[in-house]
Amino acid sequence: MRPLLYSINVTIDGCVDHSAGSTDAVLLEEALRATHRHAIASMGRADALLFGRVTYQMMEEAWRLETRTLTMPEWTDPFARTIDAMKKYVVSSTLGEVDWNAELVRGDLAEAVQALKQEPGKALFTGGVRLPMALAEMDLIDEYEFVVQPIIVGRGPSLFAGLSKVIDLKLVDRIELSSGAVALRYEPRR
């Protein structure tokens, strides 16, 4: 069975707002470079992405090479090429269609994700906030990766706010990034 891997950047105080970051431009760029390098390696363990609508649209706007309107630094090109090429599954009841090497996932979320996990291939990789919360509630995430950025922002959306149960995790890997961030990988104790 293909595992479902979840990865998210989070500040030390639990904020998951992707725009929260250092005010020092040099430190911010190094943090972003290190985070992008790590994300490429993490996504390399998978052959498909599973996104909710909001994350899919945000990623498409920033990383779809064919239609991108945002100007990104040249050092982000490897990340853009990686995400652009991957198969994408989009969980949405409001989108009528998707492209960008993507297909819609509809119906019962647990059944749909279980079916994707049964398909041959490498892992499935997900990110974002709302969809992973639903997946965590259903015990469908096989690995949690928290890329903890060395910053305290004191505001913004927090990770797993409102989760209805405790998910006991065991540490399986720890990677220190050159920016000072630490990627912590956990598996649920089942």
**CATH code of the domain covering residue 136:** 3.40.430.10
pLDDT of residue 29: 77
Question: What's the structural domain count of the chain?
Answer: 1
pLDDT of residue 26: 55
Domain interval for residue 132: 4-188
Give tens-digit pLDDT for 146-183: 999 888 888 888 889 889 999 999 999 999 998 889 99
Is the distance from CB of 48 to CB of 121 less than 8 angstroms? yes
How many Cα atoms sit within 13 Å of 83 on the Cβ side?
A: 27
Which residues, given as ranges, of the chain have pLDDT below 50? none
Q: Give the H/E segment covering residue 135.
A: helix 130-137
pLDDT of residue 17: 74
Which burial class, exposed, middle or buried, applies to 14 when counting CB atoms under 10 A from its CB (0-12, 13-18, 19+)?
A: middle
